Amino acid sequence: MKLHEYQAKELFSRYGLPIPEGWLAKTPEKAMEHVGRRGFPIAIKAQVHAGGRGKSGGILLASNMEDAYKAVYSIHGMRLRTPQTVGEGPTVNKLLLEKGVDIDREFYLSIVPDSSTGSLLIIASAEGGMDIEEVAATHPEKILQVQVDPVMGLQEYQKRRVAYALGLTGELFASFATLLAGLYQAVLENDLLLAEINPLALTVDGDFFLIDAKAKVDSNALFRQRKIAAQYDSSEEDPLELEAQRHGLNYIRLHGNIGTIVNGAGLAMASMDIIQQAGAEPANFLDVGGGANEDMIEHGFQILLSDPHVKAILINIFGGILRCDILATGVVNAARKTGLQLPVVVRMEGTNAEQGRKILAESGLDLITATDLNDAATKIQELCLT
Amino acid sequence: MKLHEYQAKELFSRYGLPIPEGWLAKTPEKAMEHVGRRGFPIAIKAQVHAGGRGKSGGILLASNMEDAYKAVYSIHGMRLRTPQTVGEGPTVNKLLLEKGVDIDREFYLSIVPDSSTGSLLIIASAEGGMDIEEVAATHPEKILQVQVDPVMGLQEYQKRRVAYALGLTGELFASFATLLAGLYQAVLENDLLLAEINPLALTVDGDFFLIDAKAKVDSNALFRQRKIAAQYDSSEEDPLELEAQRHGLNYIRLHGNIGTIVNGAGLAMASMDIIQQAGAEPANFLDVGGGANEDMIEHGFQILLSDPHVKAILINIFGGILRCDILATGVVNAARKTGLQLPVVVRMEGTNAEQGRKILAESGLDLITATDLNDAATKIQELCLT
Amino acid sequence: MSIFVNQDTRLLVQGITGKEGQFHTLQCLEYGTRVVAGVTPGKAGQEVAGISVFHTVHDAVQETGANASMIFVPPPFAADAILEAADAGVDLIICITEGIPIHDMLRVRRALQGSSSRLIGPNCPGIITPGVCKIGIMPAHIHRPGSIGVISRSGTLTYELVDQLTKAGLGQSTCIGIGGDPVNGTGFIDCLAAFAKDEQTTGIVMLGEIGGTAEEAAAVFIQEKVDKPVVGFIAGLTAPPGRQMGHAGAIISGSRGSATAKIAALEKSGVHVYQELGQLGAFCAKTFAT
Amino acid sequence: MSIFVNQDTRLLVQGITGKEGQFHTLQCLEYGTRVVAGVTPGKAGQEVAGISVFHTVHDAVQETGANASMIFVPPPFAADAILEAADAGVDLIICITEGIPIHDMLRVRRALQGSSSRLIGPNCPGIITPGVCKIGIMPAHIHRPGSIGVISRSGTLTYELVDQLTKAGLGQSTCIGIGGDPVNGTGFIDCLAAFAKDEQTTGIVMLGEIGGTAEEAAAVFIQEKVDKPVVGFIAGLTAPPGRQMGHAGAIISGSRGSATAKIAALEKSGVHVYQELGQLGAFCAKTFAT
């Protein structure tokens, strides 16, 4: 779960990290009120989940009232399309206004749990700013990676390593070390999958400020991160994906017309591959997971049926922890409630598959049964041709 | 550094551990005031560093005013001699008065950093009370030892292991788990070498109370435990040992008459062995340590000279990190300041030994030089015979 | 022979009194697995299908000599359950639980370094040596004893493959689901090394998927250390690129982790990569026959 | 040959700019040790006796290829210095510092499990292979190259012994002070194992003292694994019993840890125990001659 910039900054500031004075506004009028009261220079920043906002007009700096007015009204309500967004991009309906600071140097600093090294990885560079990915690609030696043992935690020598690599000594070392320790603590205590500050600015007065900040929280940890879970902003999400989330389903909407219901991410991806190999396009990725119950199956089915693009459905289940009888009951209930009109190819194997097939057969519903994966692919192909 | 019972309880209570209501009194009059105000039953407990106080009359329970009066006046001012004290035992000048609780069961619980397993060792037994050492000797299976990884910290499953082994389930499990976690945290954050609760009482109402509590702090960690260092009660210490401590010297007073100044604990112990093998008795153990400076040597020398039992001194230095020239200068200064009258055998080898010998030779002092350890032993023997 | 499990495996089940725990304990028992104990804190003295339940893993191990554990404990408590099993000296720990926070698993993986316990999973279907021992949630009937070793990151994809293998006349020596989480215990390389040494195993099938770089590392290992034929499949060739994790992810992984990169790495190491899932079993039969 | 250090040892000194650090760096240099770098945070760019000082151990290792470190950092920062050296991949870490809190050392020892770095100390005089490499604070001139391996918990007691050995005509292969703290790195057993395998070493002297049970464990190891003659000495036979640490200490250690118990354990394992320190060198000469 991604946090907005203003949420991430609020979170980090609770760990003593220095953020510029800022004010959130939900309307252009409120934004202009803040501008009028706070003076210049002031930054106007779109609060949407879109990397690369700066280059795409989502962040503007104003040094007088006229510029500020233009900036506020151009950003608020815009659809922000950046290299990292999908489709037309999200609509901006929240602005963060921030007092400008007098920047001397810009650093890059992030912490991520890194599975390949089994560490909490600190990534830092003296070449902060918008083009850090390019620095990583062209000058990897300018990027320091420090692996923190997740059990030992951040050590003093690691703070020194990062600070000295960034050229920070003396008093700057001390304030940077405190900042880094705070960021590390924030990552740990909030189950962050990403904490990124770019740029971390050093002002001409020798003060650090988080100019931009990103944070992403482990969705698997929301059971113990209630406060963060409550900050979830669903306004940018696809309504069907939201509906799926509510029922614990892993659903991603795509652009094709063959809906899929599969258990297991690997088999779901492979099923999409099969649909494409059959000459059609998958309408979605939908992994009902291992612990699915009747309700979840039923809701997954309903979500597919409410996508107008879906012309046919492939159900591909290989039962392990998810028993086929449970799946079958869910499908039957959903088909009855929705008055199913679409062709549905069902392929079912594994735990309690016999019982599952029996439930489907006795339901009186008009379902197309596939004997194996090859057969299912053939039947999908036939549906596409008709 | 040992804490008194009332200090240990105050420390543990900051971690949420439940202690009985109690009041400290430095005079019998104050103690009786508390008794008058608080009612019965009340426990009167000597606050001295002496294990086994209970059996030796240092803890009495009173259920009426007359008993309380007798108890307070018998304990206050007494010298408490127990199997674990040396000599006549310390004088009691502080009393802890504690409200009695209605005990159902008594447990033993302690945590120590254990070098042999490299863990923080939890020791627990359902057979709490005064005779835990006997339980350990005769029924080791009644004592549970759980090794906590010092880096991972106390895990939930370890709380369960201890609690279930003590027969604590349901609500008792929950409150015990909290107590154990608090005790562990206290050990970590205060650099404790020992945290011991014996007995840990469970009342008939299902509440836990720390009836007796011991804590010992790592002296090497006092640099970061300033608050605890300030609680140091030196009233029970030997004045010469205190003086040595003030100068960073590791000094223990013994009963013989040959004083020793040695660098390194191993060589110091071996030097004591040599004195005994030569037919004399060492007056002390004095390790001036590796980082000794002139001042420390001088003070060590002065401490030996102020012990009236000391009839001769053996200085045995093998210089490594402690350079012999530094030692020699310290000895010369101290001898001059004190107007040295006693015979001193000096044996000096190692780093800068030549310079050291030269300083001694040129000092004009009347020192007995030994060429090696055998020679030193012989010269000590000669002194003893004369 | 087989790897990691055999007829001497004595299984305990952590979370045995839960719904899934009970169901799959029964399934394992029916298959012939020697289930000797269950653990659910606070429920010592109960029984599940005749199996005694203990408060702690230490008690269970001491009383029953269990040397393997299957974990069905819910995500908030699963990391602790793994640590408990390792501390009690259980040799093989199979964690079925899905959805354990990544910070928990980083700590668990670090704690298990240097331990004598092997962790499989979490978020995995388990391990089975057909005809001998099943520990996990895989449907038993699709397996047949034989000489093919199977390693997979994905549960149901494994069932699909195994079903096809069996139907194609290829039995399995051992099938291992290593789990789909980014931080897990036993990886491709550990399994490849064990299969390479296992006399019963004559061929290996490896099912990978997009994300991470475990398949790339496995490819290097295969080239250097595995003499037996290996068939590979990577799921997610047509999946849209994953949602961006900010810059940090890109800085660490660069262009690695895509299906194309993984397929290229495996092919370069001599792995027989085949991407038609419907005919994968038939392809294996052909490949391992030569 | 020798153990742990040799002519390829490239030393860096952590805390090189302090008074003791400077003094002993000079002594090591004079002895011929290849001191290649120093580390003091905040002092990169300075020099000590011509040796470059770096901010961090990582920088020092990268620039100079140092593979050993000698630590003179004060107690509050010493644990961190050890961890830094290990993280930078330094093979051999010798920590001279005395007075490190025990909780710090418990964490360090746990962190180093499974690491490729060997820690000697803390609170130790260091290690010397006479004529080749000296890392530590021992007075150099008392040593002679030879074939006796020396292991000791006590610094100055070691000097005493080595001085006597040299005067008795016995040179040393390597002398190691493992340090007197309850929690340390390399122990008696590690050193015994290395000396047992070292061709140059023909006899071993082991100096123990009261407290702990390291000598008892070493005795068991000697009986099982060491074929070379071993002479033993235990300091503290006449020391008064240590101050009581409450019940917990007694529960853990029981009656172990006394000088008498240690001497008995060593003698039972065939170690030649001799308690007259003044004649210990002569005793070694006699024992190792047979």
Tens of pLDDT along D62-74? 999 999 999 999 9
Residues 6 or more apart whose Cβ sits within 8 Å of residue C203: C147, C148, C149, C228, C229, C230, C231, C284, C287, C288
Q: Do C87 and B164 touch (CB under 8 A)?
A: no
The CA R_g of chain C, rounded to the nearest whole Å, is 19
Chain D contact for C116 (CB, 8 A cutoff): no
Confidence grade of residue D250 (pLDDT, cut at 50, 70, 90): low
Chain C contact for D114 (CB, 8 A cutoff): yes
Res A385 pLDDT > 90 = no
Confidence grade of residue D104 (pLDDT, cut at 50, 70, 90): very high
pLDDT tens per residue across span A83-136: 777 677 889 999 999 999 999 999 999 999 998 899 999 999 999 887 788 888
Residues 48-67 of C with CB under 8 A from D: none
Q: Do D80 and A156 touch (CB under 8 A)?
A: yes
pTM summary value: 0.93
Residue of D nearest to A150 (CA): D111
Measured between beta carbons, the chain A residues lying within 8 angstroms of D109 are: none
pLDDT tens per residue across span B278-310: 888 999 999 887 667 788 888 898 899 889 999
> What is the β-pairing status of strands B213-217 and B2-3?
antiparallel
Q: How high is the ipTM of this complex?
A: 0.93
Neighbours of A, requiring at least 3 CB pairs below 8 Å, are B, C, D
Q: Quick one: pLDDT at residue D255?
A: 55
User: Yes or no: is domain C139-289 CATH 3.40.50.261?
Assistant: yes
Residue of D nearest to A148 (CA): D87
For D23-59, give one letter per residue: b (16+ CB within 10 A) or e: bbbebbbebebbbbbbbbbebbeeebeebbbbbbbbb
Q: Do D111 and A173 touch (CB under 8 A)?
A: no
Res C267 pLDDT > 50 = yes
pLDDT tens per residue across span C97-151: 999 999 999 999 999 998 999 999 999 999 999 999 999 999 999 999 999 999 9
Q: For chain B, what percent of residues have pLDDT higher than 70? A: 98
3-class state of residue B57 by DSSP: coil
Q: Please give the structure tokens belonging to residue D108.
A: 């360090």
Q: Please give the structure tokens belonging to residue B190.
A: 């205060």
CA–CA min distance C275, chain D (Å):
40
Neighbours of D, requiring at least 3 CB pairs below 8 Å, are A, B, C
For B78-114, give one letter per residue: b (16+ CB within 10 A) or e: bebbbebbeeebbebbbbbbbebbeeebbbbbbbbbb
Alpha helices in chain D (DSSP H): 19-31, 57-64, 75-87, 102-112, 155-167, 188-197, 214-225, 246-253, 259-268, 280-289
Q: Please give the residue that has the higher pLDDT: either D217 or B338.
A: D217
CA–CA min distance A151, chain D (Å):
9
Q: For chain B, what percent of residues have pLDDT higher than 90? A: 57
Interface with D, mutate which of A121, A157, A171 (most D CBs under 10 A): A157
> What integer best gives the mean pLDDT of chain D?
93
Q: Quick one: pLDDT at residue A259?
A: 94
Res D242 pLDDT > 60 = no
Q: Quick one: pLDDT at residue D243?
A: 42
CA distance B113 to C47: 39
Q: For residues D238 and B272, is the Cβ–Cβ distance under 8 A?
A: yes
Q: Please give the structure tokens belonging to residue C277.
A: 């899932």
pLDDT tens per residue across span B7-52: 999 999 999 999 999 999 999 999 999 998 888 999 999 999 887 8
**Looking at domain C10-120, which of 3.30.420.40, 3.40.50.150, 3.40.50.720, 3.20.20.70 is its CATH number?**
3.40.50.720
Q: Please give the structure tokens belonging to residue B157.
A: 């499953």
Report DSSP letters for B8-51, one per residue.
Answer: HHHHHHTTT-----EEEESSHHHHHHHHHHH-SSEEEEE-SS-T
**Which DSSP helix (H) or strand (E) runs through B373?**
helix B373-385
> What integer best gives the mean pLDDT of chain C?
93
Mean pLDDT of A318-331: 84
Res A258 pLDDT > 50 = yes
Mean pLDDT of B54-72: 91
Q: Quick one: pLDDT at residue C249?
A: 53
Q: Quick one: pLDDT at residue C244?
A: 36
Q: Quick one: pLDDT at residue B371?
A: 86
CA distance C13 to D155: 53
Res C290 pLDDT > 80 = no
**Which DSSP helix (H) or strand (E) runs through B303?**
helix B294-305
3-class state of residue D231 by DSSP: strand
Q: Which domains does chain B have, with CATH numbers?
A: 1-20+102-235 (3.30.470.20), 21-100 (3.30.1490.20), 239-385 (3.40.50.261)
Mean pLDDT of B149-161: 98
Catalytic residue IDs of C: 247
Secondary structure (H, E, C), chain C: CCCCCCCCCCEEEECCCCHHHHHHHHHHHHHCCCEEEEECCCCCCCEECCEEEECCHHHHHHHHCCCEEEECCCHHHHHHHHHHHHHCCCCEEEECCCCCCHHHHHHHHHHHCCCCCEEECCCCCEEEECCCEEEECCCHHHCCEEEEEEEECCHHHHHHHHHHHHHCCCCEEEEEECCCCCCCCCCHHHHHHHHHHCCCCCEEEEEEECCCCHHHHHHHHHHHHCCCCEEEEEECCCCCCCCCCHHHHHHHHCCCCCHHHHHHHHHHCCCEECCCHHHHHHHHHHHHHC
Alpha helices in chain A (DSSP H): 5-13, 28-38, 65-75, 132-138, 156-165, 170-189, 226-229, 239-246, 265-277, 294-305, 324-338, 353-362, 373-385
Across A111-120, A181-190, B357-366, which has the greatest mean pLDDT? A181-190
Q: Quick one: pLDDT at residue B294?
A: 80
Measured torsion, CA atoms of residues C7, C9, C14, C16, in degrees rounded to the nearest 10: 20
Mean pLDDT of C16-28: 95
CA–CA min distance A152, chain D (Å):
7
Res C251 pLDDT > 90 = no
Q: Which bin fits D33, alpha (ψ -120 to 50), beta or left (φ > 0)?
A: beta
Q: Can B196 be counted among the known catalytic residues?
A: yes
Name the E strands within B204-311.
208-210, 213-217, 250-253, 258-262, 284-287
Residues 6 or more apart whose Cβ sits within 8 Å of residue D279: B374
Residue-range domain boundaries for chain D: 10-120, 139-289
Mean pLDDT of B189-198: 96
Alpha helices in D133-279 (DSSP H): 155-167, 188-197, 214-225, 246-253, 259-268
Read off the amino acid at residue B302.
Answer: Q
Mean pLDDT of B159-187: 97
Nearest to B335 by CA among B317, B350, B319, B313: B313
Interface with B, mutate which of D19, D73, D184, D238 (most B CBs under 10 A): D238
- Closest by Cβ to A160, choosing from D55, D107, D111: D55
Chain A contact for B151 (CB, 8 A cutoff): yes
Interface with C, mutate which of B141, B147, B151, B161 (most C CBs under 10 A): B161
pLDDT tens per residue across span B114-129: 988 999 999 999 998 8
- Closest by Cβ to D76, choosing from B119, B223, B289: B223
Res C252 pLDDT > 60 = no
Q: Do C240 and A254 touch (CB under 8 A)?
A: yes
CA A324 to chain centre: 31
Domains D10-120 and D139-289 share a fold: yes
Q: Quick one: pLDDT at residue C254?
A: 53
Measured from the Cβ of residue A68, the count of other Cβ atoms closer than 10 Å reads 25
pLDDT tens per residue across span D143-175: 999 999 999 998 889 999 999 999 999 999 999
Chain C contact for B73 (CB, 8 A cutoff): no
Q: Do D101 and B150 touch (CB under 8 A)?
A: no
Chain A contact for B86 (CB, 8 A cutoff): no
Which entry of B108, B184, B251, B298 is annotated as an active-site residue? B108
Interface with C, mutate which of B144, B152, B157 (most C CBs under 10 A): B157
Q: Do C275 and A273 touch (CB under 8 A)?
A: yes
CA–CA min distance A51, chain C (Å):
7
Q: For residues B113 and D110, is the Cβ–Cβ distance under 8 A?
A: no
Q: Do D75 and B220 touch (CB under 8 A)?
A: yes
Question: Which DSSP letter does residue A318 get?
Answer: E
Q: Please give the residue that has the higher pLDDT: either B86 or D215.
A: D215
3-class state of residue B168 by DSSP: coil
Confidence grade of residue C245 (pLDDT, cut at 50, 70, 90): very low
> What is the β-pairing status of strands B208-210 and B192-203?
antiparallel
Res C246 pLDDT > 50 = no
List the beta bridge partners of residue D71: D14, D95
CA–CA min distance A141, chain D (Å):
13
Q: Chains A and B: how many Cβ contacts under 8 Å?
A: 3
Mean pLDDT of D177-185: 92
> What integer best gives the mean pLDDT of chain A?
91
Q: Quick one: pLDDT at residue B142?
A: 94
> What integer best gives the mean pLDDT of chain B?
91
pLDDT tens per residue across span C157-194: 999 999 999 999 999 999 999 998 889 999 999 999 99
CA–CA min distance D260, chain C (Å):
35
Q: For residues B97 and B23, is the Cβ–Cβ distance under 8 A?
A: yes
